[in-house]
C-alpha cells in the first residue's frame, strides 16, 4: 500500500454497487410501469400490409385496428373517400373491393391482401372523367359534395348490377347512400343517364 492510491478496494465496491443499484431502479420501475400500462391498455399491434389500390401496390405498416377508410385517408392520403358516420349508416365511405361496392369504414385493412380496391380517385381515365362523374355534373347530382364520392361509387355499381329498370328500383338500390342536401333527384337522373 502506498499513499498514491486514492481509492480503497472497499470504497470501489461500495460505490460501484450503489451506482449499479441506482441504475437498476429506474429500469425496473420503468418495466413495472410498462407492465402495468400494458395490463390496463393493451399495446397496439402493427404489421406490414401490402395492398393494391387503384391498381397501385402500396406497402404500409399499420395498426391491426385500421379500417380501409382510415388507411386510405390517414396513411395513404387518398382523401376522396369520405368519413361520414364511421358506423355503416351513411354510405359516404363507399368504395369497390374486387369490383363490388362495400363500406370502407366497416372493412378491416388487414383483410385486404390479395384484393383490388378502387376509390373515387381511380375512376377517371387520366383527365377524362368516368361517365358517372360527368353525369353527376350535368344532372346536378350534388350540392355540398360530401356524400358525392360515395354516391358515385355506389351509382357505378348500381348500373353494373343492373338495378336501373325504374326510379323505384334505383332508389331502393341507392338507399345505402344518404344525402343531407337532398340531391336525390339529380342522383337518380345521373344514374338513368349512364344506364341508357
Partner 1 sequence: MKPFTFSKPENLGKALSIKKDTVQFIAGGTNLLDLMKKNIAGPDAVLDITTALSSKIEQQGKGVRIGAMVRNSAITTDKTILSKYPLVAKAVLAGASPQIRNMASTAGNLLQRTRCPYFYDITTPCNKRKPGSGCSAINGENRMNAIVGYNEQCVAVHPSDLCVALAALDATVATTDKNKKQLSIPFKDFHKLPGDTPQLDNNLPANAIITSVDIAENPFSKNFYYLKLRDRDSYAFALVSVAAALHLQDNHIADARLASGGVAHKPWRWYEAEQYLKGKAPSASTFSAAADIVIKDVKPLSNNGFKKSMLRGAVETALQNCLTA
Residue ranges in contact with partner 1 by CB under 8 A? 42-45, 47, 63-65, 67, 86-88, 91, 94, 100-103, 106-108, 110-111, 154, 157-158, 161, 163, 171-173, 175-177
Number of other CB atoms surrounding residue 194 within 10 Å: 20
Least distance from partner 1 to the Cβ atom of residue 108, Å: 6
User: Of the candidates 156, 146, 167, 161, which has an alpha carbon nearest to the alpha carbon of residue 194?
Assistant: 156
Cell of 50: 401490402
Q: Which of 69, 135 has the CB closer to partner 1? A: 69
Least distance from C-beta 91 to partner 1, angstroms?
Answer: 6
Measured from the CB of residue 65, what is the shortest distance to partner 1 in angstroms?
5
Q: Residue 138 or residue 172: which is nearer to partner 1 going by CB? A: 172
Nearer to partner 1, 110 or 188 (CB): 110
Closer to partner 1 at the Cβ: 133 or 177? 177
What does R_g of the chain's alpha carbons equal in angstroms?
29
User: Cα 135 from chain centroid?
Assistant: 28
Q: Pick between residue 35 and residue 138 the one whose CB is nearest to partner 1.
A: 35
- In order of 11, 13, 15, 40, 100, the CA distances from 3 in angstroms are 15, 19, 20, 58, 88
Is the Cβ–Cβ distance between 140 and 80 less than 8 Å?
no
Least Å distance between CB 178 and partner 1? 8
User: Which residue has 383483410 as its cell numbers?
Assistant: 111
3-state helix, strand, coil in the chain (%, to 5): 45, 15, 40
Task: State in angstroms the smallest separation of the CB of 29 from partner 1.
Answer: 24
Amino acid at each position: 500500500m502506498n499513499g498514491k492510491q486514492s481509492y480503497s478496494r472497499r470504497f470501489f465496491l461500495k460505490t460501484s454497487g450503489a451506482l449499479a443499484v441506482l441504475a437498476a431502479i429506474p429500469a425496473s420501475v420503468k418495466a413495472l410501469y410498462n407492465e402495468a400500462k400494458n395490463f390496463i391498455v393493451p399495446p397496439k399491434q402493427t404489421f406490414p400490409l401490402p395492398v393494391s389500390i387503384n391498381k397501385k401496390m402500396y406497402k404500409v405498416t399499420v395498426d391491426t385496428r385500421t379500417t380501409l377508410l382510415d388507411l386510405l385517408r390517414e396513411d395513404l392520403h387518398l382523401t376522396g373517400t369520405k368519413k361520414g358516420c364511421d358506423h355503416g349508416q351513411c354510405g359516404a365511405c363507399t368504395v369497390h373491393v374486387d369490383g363490388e361496392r362495400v363500406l370502407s369504414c366497416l372493412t378491416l385493412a388487414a383483410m385486404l391482401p390479395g384484393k383490388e380496391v378502387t376509390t373515387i380517385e381511380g375512376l377517371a381515365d387520366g383527365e377524362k372523367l368516368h361517365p358517372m362523374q360527368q353525369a353527376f355534373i350535368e344532372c346536378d347530382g350534388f350540392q355540398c359534395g360530401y356524400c358525392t364520392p360515395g354516391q358515385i361509387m355506389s351509382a357505378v355499381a348500381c348500373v353494373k348490377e343492373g338495378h336501373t329498370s325504374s326510379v323505384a328500383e334505383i332508389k331502393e338500390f341507392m338507399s345505402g347512400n344518404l344525402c343531407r342536401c337532398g340531391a336525390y333527384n339529380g342522383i337518380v337522373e345521373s344514374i338513368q343517364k349512364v344506364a341508357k
